[in-house]
Amino acid sequence: MNGRRAAWRHLRVGVALWAAAAAAIAAGREVELNSANLAELEAIGGVGTALAARMIEERQRRPFTDWDDVRRRLKGVGPKVAARLSGEGLTVNGVPFTAQAAGATAASSPR
């Protein structure tokens, strides 16, 4: 019986953390990619469990420097997805995605 109680307690704590992250995002709070936990990332519209896990795995290798770095290192995150995630509150080093800034950075640095 204690095992079941512990499992339910963990589930309730997890749900509470996810709900708090979702409420913070809904309130317009920014979520920093380089420091957000799994629940905070999953609460961003368009970020599921798999993408959130890849984000955390990549940033453990080294933090993301900017949105171009995110787009290079995370398969499936192009300008449209980056703009959508940024619109949901995701930032990289406190900076939201802008197509103009990303294009200027890409144009000034050879790939």
Partners of 32 in beta bridges? 91
Position 81 pLDDT exceeds 90: yes
Position 100 pLDDT exceeds 70: no
Averaged pLDDT, 9-37: 69
Q: Are 94 and 35 spatial neighbours (Cβ–Cβ below 8 Å)?
A: no
More confident residue, 52 or 109: 52
Domains of the chain: 2-108 (1.10.150.320)
Q: Identify the CA nearest to 102 among candidates 58, 62, 57, 71.
A: 71
What integer best gives the mean pLDDT of the chain? 82
Q: Which two tokens stand for residue 1?
A: 């019986």
The whole-model pTM stands at 0.66
pLDDT band at 29 (very low <50, low <70, confident <90, very high): confident
